[in-house]
A = this chain, B = another copy of it.
Amino acid sequence: MPDTTPELRSGQRHDISHEVLGVVFQVRDGALQVLLWRRAQAPEAGCWSLPVGPVGVAESLEAAVSRHLATKVDVRDLAHLEQLGTWSEVHRVPSRRLVATAYLGLVPTTSDPDTPRDTDWHLADSLPATAFDHGAVVTHALARLRAKLSYTNIGFALAPEEFTMAALNRLYCAALGRPVSVTNLQRVLLRRGVLEATGRLAAPGTAGGRPAARYRFRHHELEVTDAFPVLRPRRTSSRGAEDPPGAESVD
């Protein structure tokens, strides 16, 4: 694999730098949005890029991305953070050899972190011109989020502490980018034990109508719903009590 770029031919030992990217999603104004930063300097000045930063010698990648995002979004607002993947194409950024590990971060609708100048939220489904390979990274993050909404309880990281079914339905519609049946959403998430009723009721709306019950996510750590049923021995009836033993994440 010959490479002719002069910058890459230098004979030093440590020529590869490592950076972290944060793909932070939040449902805002009824749509899924992602936090982007307007690049001031070249290269790709004027384009939008993901929050990015170097990795310190004495910190893990998780620590690095948390640290950098703290300057963009209050870390306490990050309800979920998981590794997405590592991008390493040789020319993914010009004139430097830079490997990037991307993380997916989720912020619940309740928090409205004040973002510094030059950062802003953008619709995840129609991105502006993005720098480098950040568009592909966002696409990847979007696909993973949407997949996990179907077979995990990851919604807890986007939703408020307590909510009505109608509100949760709007949240899922926004995050998935397509309509979702309230009826089925409720029954599926309740049967799986992802949601539980709090017993409290929402204040009835001004237009009248039955007051909605309030629900919450039962757990606030990622849990994977019983994996794809194919070729698995049938679950042995008793569906109560104990958590499934092999419920670890598969990314």
Chain A interface residues (CB < 8 Å from chain B): 1-10, 12-19, 37, 41, 51-63, 68, 71-72, 83, 85-86, 88-90, 97-99, 101, 143-144, 147-151, 172, 176, 178-181, 184-185, 188, 225, 227-228, 230-233, 248, 250-251
Known contacts A14-B15, A83-B85; 12 further A-B pairs (Cβ under 8 A)? A1-B52, A3-B53, A7-B54, A7-B56, A8-B58, A14-B16, A18-B18, A55-B88, A61-B88, A83-B86, A151-B228, A176-B231
For A231, list chain B residues within 8 Å (CB): 149-150, 172, 176, 180-181, 184-185, 188
A57–B99 touching, CB < 8 Å: no
Instruction: For A60, list chain B residues within 8 Å (CB).
Output: 88-90
Contacts of A151 in B (CB 8 A): 227-228, 230
- Assembly stoichiometry (copies): 2
CA distance A3 to B232 in the complex (A): 46
Q: Which of B41, B85, B98, B184 contacts A251 (CB 8 A)?
A: B85
